[in-house]
Amino acid sequence: MRWIWIDRIEEFRSREYARSVKNVTLAEEHLHDHFPGYPVMPTSLIVEGLAQTGGLLVGEASGFGGLVVLAKLSRVTFHDYALPGDQITYEVRLKELRPEGAVVEGTARVGEKLLAEAEIVFAQMDAQKAAAIVGNRYSNFRQDMLDMIRISQTTSTASNSEPAGTS
């Protein structure tokens, strides 16, 4: 399994805003344990989806040169559950950006229903330091994310009359 918790980027405005979606499905093994007879998406993975959407926003600002690490959830509130069949929309706005770190604010929704709100602090490491600490896992994850962006560009063009803005 790949550690990708967003299925597609729907809108991307560099250094400003990103919107992505995640489809919750019973094919995800963990839902059968969380919880038996009542599958709900773990809130930690909702946060991960927000962080991946935000991480792309932060990483893109520096040309994906380094490693963006979820460092801290300074604020998070969960309001509701995401169930199999739901499509979650993650919306993230960049609040602060510096070479050593960044802050984003985001929401997760299913339709109009608010699932979660969070403020996330990221640390940024240069590529050399990142490779020394996490080795191949860093370059593999980075490649998965870059592939996901490319797939998003293709699939949004295929399914929408107008392609998602990936400025």
- Which one, of 131, 85, 142, 147, lies nearest residue 110 by Cα? 85
Tokens in use for 152? 């998003």
List the catalytic residue out of 30, 32, 34, 79: 34
d(CA 146, CA 138): 12
Binding of residue 73 to other proteins (CB under 8 A)? no
Binding of residue 121 to other proteins (CB under 8 A)? yes
Name 97's bridge partners.
102
**Residue from 103, 115, 116, 130 binding other proteins (CB under 8 A):** 103
Least Å distance, CB 130 to other proteins, is 15
Closer Cβ to other proteins, 84 or 101, answer by number: 101
Binding piece for other proteins, criterion CB under 8 A, among 7-15, 35-43, 69-77, 110-118: 69-77
Preceding amide of 122 cis, omega within 30: no
End-to-end CA distance of the chain, in Å?
Answer: 30
53 — phi, psi (to 5°)?
-65, -45
Binding of residue 128 to other proteins (CB under 8 A)? no
Positive or negative torsion for Cα 43, 49, 50, 55: positive
Binding of residue 140 to other proteins (CB under 8 A)? no
The verdict on whether 34 is a catalytic residue reads yes
Residue type, position 167, single letter:
S
**Residue from 71, 83, 131, 151 binding other proteins (CB under 8 A):** 71
What's the residue count for the chain?
167
Binding of residue 96 to other proteins (CB under 8 A)? yes
**Residue from 27, 36, 38, 98 binding other proteins (CB under 8 A):** 98
The contact set with other proteins (CB under 8 A) reads 71-72, 74, 96, 98-101, 103, 121, 123
Q: Which residues are catalytic?
A: 34
